[in-house]
Every structure is written in structure tokens, then in C-alpha cells.
Amino acid sequence: MPRNTTLSTLLDAGTDLVLDGALATELEVHGCDLDDPLWSAKVLLEQPHLIKQVHRDYFDAGASVAITASYQATPAGFARRGLSVEESLELVSRSVRLADEARQEYYAAHPGARSLLVAGSVGPYGAYLADGSEYRGDYTLSSAEFRDFHRPRIAALVDAGVDFLACETLPSFAEAEALLALVAEFDVESWFTFTLRDSAHISDGTPLTDVAALLRTEPRVAAVGLNCVPLELVTPALGTLRNLTDAPLVAYPNSGETYDAVTKTWGASEGAGHVGTLAGNAADWRALGARLVGGCCRTNPRDIEALATNMTPHEPS
């Protein structure tokens, strides 16, 4: 049974990894009402067993990485529900335990299985705001304020034994700088993935050139890429990044639909019909350097199963 495997060890060995898909989408399938500022984090309070079930479903579908239900799980967010800091951080820790329990159940049912990793989700400050600003990056905090916001959750994830951090859906260069400092402070591996304005800029307008240069300064960043973006942006953005960094690339876009942050609804994305599916694009994305591929909003275990088949992930003997 695989144990004590790190993200960088797998990547250095040449392993390509299939990530999981949307957590919230599957929780809604299981009957959860996520019309709430806490989004999927509210299920940590109300029905945590469903989170474990979704993680297990993705492992069964072929995913090798589970991303914890901590994207919007922060002391500031839980304080709106009257929870103390200690209670809030216990819920963050629970998100790691649930993913690990799903992993251990999978190992028990599949002796000699592939290595499975648990990534601690660190969503942006914009996710806490719950107003769609993780797609704009139009909020302003000092570096110290960003660090103070993110530090307790990162500490809880690390203390709970997460394998690495997924600093994800980041729209802001200043916030990425602050998170990079915390990755160094906690001496923890990570990947950094961003939302995009277009194929050459993250959501706040910072060029990917600057983003890649920043992340090259921190050896604990094992991979760089994008998530929660339209399918049609993935190939050109990976092409941009491929020319800017030698790091393994990460891509886990949305299903092909477009999210309206005002109405909080999904609709057809203009042009999405011309760019296919996660599985259909996997070969092209891998050719551009994407070593970690999965799905974000509105994707499901069936999408990940098809992706796993197309990526045919392998582990050297």
C-alpha cells in the first residue's frame, strides 16, 4: 500500500496525475443545498459523510488526487455562523480527515493501488466574500492582511497531515505573493492555480509572465497552472505558460458552461461547443506540459473516469 508519497516525488518520477472533479456539483446531486456563503464548506457542518462519499467516488473513477472541502472553510466565514476560531479550524481539519478516510477505504478495497494524494484546498479571499470576486481579483488587502487571513487555515491543513496545498482559483497577484510567503513559512509543497482574464493574464490583469517569474522563486511550488476557467481558455493559456516555466503544469477547468456570479447560475458558454471535453483535450494539454489534469465546476466522476482513460496515468515500477 503506497505511503508517504509526495507530489514532487511522483512528478519527478514521470507520473502524470488525474485530479478529482467538482465537489459542490456532486454534493448537490446528493441533495445538499449550497445556496449559502459557505458553499460546500457548510456540508462539513451538516453532512460530512457526503463529502467522504464524493472523495471516494472520484478515487473509484480514477482520480489520484482529492482536493479537500476547505475552499471556503475559514474562521472568518464560519464566524458568521457563530463558530469560534477553534471550532472553525476543527472543521478545516475534518476536511483533511474525510479525504484521508476515503483514501484509506480505497486502499483497503484495492491492495497494491496507485498512490493517492490529498491536496489541502486554499481558496482565495474572494471566495470568502462570496460575490464572484475570485473571477475578478478586484479586492485590495495588504500583504500582512492576506497572510493573517490565510495562515490559520493553512496551519490547520498542515497539522492535519495534508500531503500538499492546492492554492487555487487565485485571481490576484498580491494574494499569490502572500500565499507564497506562507508556503515558505510552513515549509509545505504546493501548486498554484489561477483564474484568467484571457490566455495571457490572470483575472486582476497581471501578465502570466510576472506570475511565472514570481513562482520560480519558491522551490516548494511543485506545479503551476489554472483552474475554474472556461474550457476554451485552457489550451492557449497552457501554451503561454509552457513558454514561461519549466514547472509541471496543472489544468482543471470547468465543464464548458459559464457562471454568472450575480444570478449564481450556469449557462452555455459561447464557443464551448467547439472545444470538446476534458477527456477529448487531455492529449493536447499533456503535449503542452500539463502533468496534472482534472475538472472544476460542473464536472463529475463520469468526466474524471473518461479523463483517466484518456490520460492513462502510469507509475514507474
pLDDT at residue 313 is higher than 50:
no
298 pLDDT more than 50: yes
pLDDT band at 124; cut points 50, 70, 90: very high
Q: Is 30 exposed, middle or buried (0-12, 13-18, 19+ CB in 10 A)?
A: middle
In whole angstroms, what is the distance from residue 307 CA to residue 215 CA? Answer: 28
Give the tens place of pLDDT for each residue, 43-102: 888 889 999 999 999 999 999 999 999 998 999 988 988 889 999 999 999 999 999 999
Single-letter amino acid code for the residue at 34 = L
What domains lie within the chain, and their CATH numbers?
7-311 (3.20.20.330)
| pLDDT > 70? residue 306 | yes
The three cell numbers locating residue 296: 472544476
Give 29's pLDDT tier (boundaries 50, 70, 90): confident
> Is residue 34 pLDDT above 70, yes or no?
no
Whether 243 shows a pLDDT value over 50: the answer reads yes
pLDDT higher than 50, residue 225: yes
Whole-number percent of the chain with pLDDT over 90 = 78
Rounded-to-5 percentages of helix, strand, coil across the chain: 45, 15, 35
Q: How many CB atoms lie within 10 A of CB 86?
A: 8
Chain segment 276-295, per-residue pLDDT in tens: 899 999 999 999 999 999 99
For residue 32, the model assigns a pLDDT of: 62
Question: Residue 263: is its pLDDT beyond 60?
Answer: no
Bridge partner list, 259: 266
Confidence of residue 3 (pLDDT cuts 50, 70, 90): very low
pLDDT at 273 over 80: no
Q: What is the mean pLDDT of the chain?
A: 90
What is the pLDDT confidence band of residue 316, given thresholds at 50, 70 and 90? very low
pTM: 0.92
Residue 39's pLDDT is what?
Answer: 60
